[in-house]
Amino acid sequence: MQDPSADTEWNDALRRHGIIPEKKKEAEITEDEIIKMVDAAVKAKTGEKDVNEMTLDELNEKEDEDWDDDGLIEQIRQQRLAEMKVLQAKSKFGDVREISAVDYVDEVNKAGDDVWVVLHLYKSGIPLCDVINHHIQALARKFPTTKFLKSVSTTCIPNYPDKNLPTIFIYYEGDMKGQLAGPLTFGGMSLTQNDLEWKLSKLGAVKSTMKSDPRGTNVDDSSGFSMLSRSSRTRKESVSSDDDY
């Protein structure tokens, strides 16, 4: 039997009379698709990075090799430098500052536009508070665009209950975005710097590159902090009364 898919005059006549179906057309490939396929094949073979993923040093090496596409490398370099300048301008913190009650509004509620604030309420003699103070020193250096603060709990908020320590308040542009309160929320004395970074990143306070909980758990710890209203608050409005604890 003759192959109905064969390209013959007889099959053409049969197709015209609807006896056999029309021959399927091969999918057309555009020139852009061909270029992408070639580029992908070259990168797969050489292990070459996409220029948008390269560091400034790698971009300089590429340009030194006379590999440029209508100034693409220079354009990407300038964009990368602009991004670095913006990041540098925002990186104005880098340490942990101690505040008192009189500093609260200026340092927290009026921290500025696009500024995340992490405030740790602590007391000396509480071991987990010491652990967190140690961790936030390192995190402040790692994330200099975030404003890290600490304050003795009763100095900052009179009559603040010890049972809620350690406590961390998270603010953004003057609004409280969440809080972590009490030793169980932090996982006790086993809390590591990575654990704390993960918790802060979930609240948006730091831009961590971590992809998963370092403790390897799938437990939703959202019950450990309260997501509060986005409306702007003063210190008295954002902190609950003693009867709430």
For range 132-152, the mean pLDDT = 95
For range 4-31, the mean pLDDT = 67
Rg (CA), the chain: 30
pLDDT at 49: 55
Residue 188 CA to chain centroid, in angstroms?
25
Supply the CATH classification number for the domain 97-203: 3.40.30.10
Q: What is the pTM of this model?
A: 0.58
Strand partners, 148: 96, 118
Least confident of 127-131, 139-143, 174-178, 216-220: 216-220
Least confident of 2-6, 91-95, 140-144, 233-237: 233-237
Structure tokens at 104: 């609260």
For range 3-23, the mean pLDDT = 70
The predicted-structure confidence for 87-134, as pLDDT tens digits, reads as follows: 555 557 889 999 999 999 999 999 888 899 999 999 999 999 999 999
pLDDT at 101: 92
In the DSSP assignment, the letter for residue 113 is T
pLDDT at 7: 67
- Within 8 A by CB and 6+ apart from 111, the residues are 117, 147, 171, 173, 174
Least confident of 42-46, 87-91, 184-188: 42-46
For range 59-69, the mean pLDDT = 54
pLDDT of 142 above 70: yes
Q: What percent of the chain has pLDDT over 70?
A: 56
CA distances from 234 to 1, 98, 152, 171 (A): 88, 19, 19, 11
For range 171-197, the mean pLDDT = 95
Asked if 188 and 129 count as a contact pair (C-beta separation under 8 A), the reply is no
Pairing state of beta strands 147-152 and 96-98? Answer: parallel
For range 71-100, the mean pLDDT = 71
139 or 59, higher pLDDT: 139
Domain ranges for the chain, please list them: 30-90, 97-203
pLDDT of 8 above 70: yes
